[in-house]
Amino acid sequence: MAFLEVKSISKHFGGLMAVDQVSFKIEKGEIISIIGPNGAGKTTIFNMLTGVYSIDAGEIDFEGKPIHNRSPQEVVSSGISRTFQNIRLFSNMRVIENVLVGTHIDTHYSFLDVLLRTKKYKKYEAENTVKAVEILRSIGLGDRIHDYADSLSYGAQRKLEIARAIATNAKVLLLDEPAAGMNPQESEELLQFIRTLRDGGYTIILIEHDMSVVMNISDRIYVIDHGKKIAEGLPDEVANNPRVIAAYLGGEKKYAENS
């Protein structure tokens, strides 16, 4: 049984078939990339995985249980969390406050507890704060806890968004274009960071256009074009697949392997 299994999922918007019977499996601890040209259906798949969109056909199973057509909060509570292509931080909040938002997906106190600042509220908030500090230290942002989010560098903001996803008690992290806007040095640092996450026990699914990142980080790759899966396999297999080269790489391989 796969850790996460997507079975022939489809999604249409009116007469447009955005995702057409796409299937894939992900084992625990893998780094998987989903690639394809703009408009191929990649983000729609992420939205189906996370409950933003319902599915019109197919199934999504996580740890042997169906999670398709559940609310985003239910999906997050099950252990799947995501980031977005455009960074969505609370820029006027401090770094630690952004992470605390993630811990509140599963609160153990009522609104009345918040209003009255009861012992129960204070207990869980203290525990959440300790958790948030530990996460920030583990990803190298321990010295920026009290800074405002918009004071961080672009790469650090990406890390903070991932930290917030981790704070939801995620087991699977869906990263949507994490290298977007990064220079080569930042992309290399991102590679190392994602490997650290994997070594820490997380399963990673990437949507990414930076082929250097994709080819050097992925255990396996799935390729989507016009809503259909056209290829899958190891990085070298995908990079040399004629359909992938034609559909996505513009007729030639455009990536560089790291030594």
- Tell me the per-residue pLDDT of 130-166, one tens digit each, with 9 for 90 and over: 888 988 988 888 899 999 999 998 888 888 998 989 8
| Structure-block tokens of residue 20 | 């057409």
Same domain, 196 and 165: no
Structure-model confidence comparison of residues 114 and 159, the more confident one: 159
Asked whether residue 173 carries a pLDDT value surpassing 80, the answer given is yes
Structure-model confidence comparison of residues 227 and 105, the more confident one: 227
CATH number of the domain encompassing residue 104: 3.40.50.300
Same domain, 115 and 243: no
Same domain, 70 and 97: no
The whole-number pLDDT of residue 201 equals 92
Same domain, 52 and 175: yes
Same domain, 74 and 179: yes
% of the chain exceeding 70 in pLDDT: 92
Q: Which range marks the domain in which residue 142 is found?
A: 87-169
Of the listed ranges 22-26, 78-82, 108-112, the least confidently predicted one is 108-112
The whole-number pLDDT of residue 249 equals 54
Asked whether residue 59 carries a pLDDT value surpassing 90, the answer given is yes
Asked whether residue 29 carries a pLDDT value surpassing 70, the answer given is yes
The whole-number pLDDT of residue 253 equals 47
The whole-number pLDDT of residue 187 equals 82
Residue that finishes a domain, picked among 114, 144, 169: 169
Q: What is the mean pLDDT of residues 179-184?
A: 81
Same domain, 133 and 154: yes
Asked whether residue 174 carries a pLDDT value surpassing 50, the answer given is yes
Q: What is the mean pLDDT of residues 29-53?
A: 93
Same domain, 135 and 164: yes
Asked whether residue 108 carries a pLDDT value surpassing 70, the answer given is no
% of the chain exceeding 90 in pLDDT: 47
Same domain, 187 and 259: yes
Same domain, 12 and 124: no
242: Cβ–Cβ under 8 A, 6 or more apart, which residues? none
Check if the beta carbon of residue 190 is closer than 8 Å to that of residue 157: no
Same domain, 97 and 73: no
Work out how many domains the chain is built from and give that number: 2
**φ, ψ at 208 (rounded to 5°):** -155, 140
Same domain, 219 and 150: no
The whole-number pLDDT of residue 254 equals 47
Asked whether residue 256 carries a pLDDT value surpassing 70, the answer given is no
What pLDDT digit, counting tens, does each position of 196-251 carry? 889 989 999 999 888 888 999 999 999 999 999 999 999 999 988 888 888 765 54
Tell me the whole-structure pTM to 2 decimals. 0.83
Same domain, 75 and 175: yes
Asked whether residue 178 carries a pLDDT value surpassing 90, the answer given is no
| Structure-block tokens of residue 204 | 């990673």
Q: What is the mean pLDDT of residues 62-68?
A: 94
Q: What is the mean pLDDT of residues 117-128?
A: 77
Average pLDDT across the chain, whole number? 87
Cα separations in angstroms, 123 against 76, 99, 112: 23, 17, 15
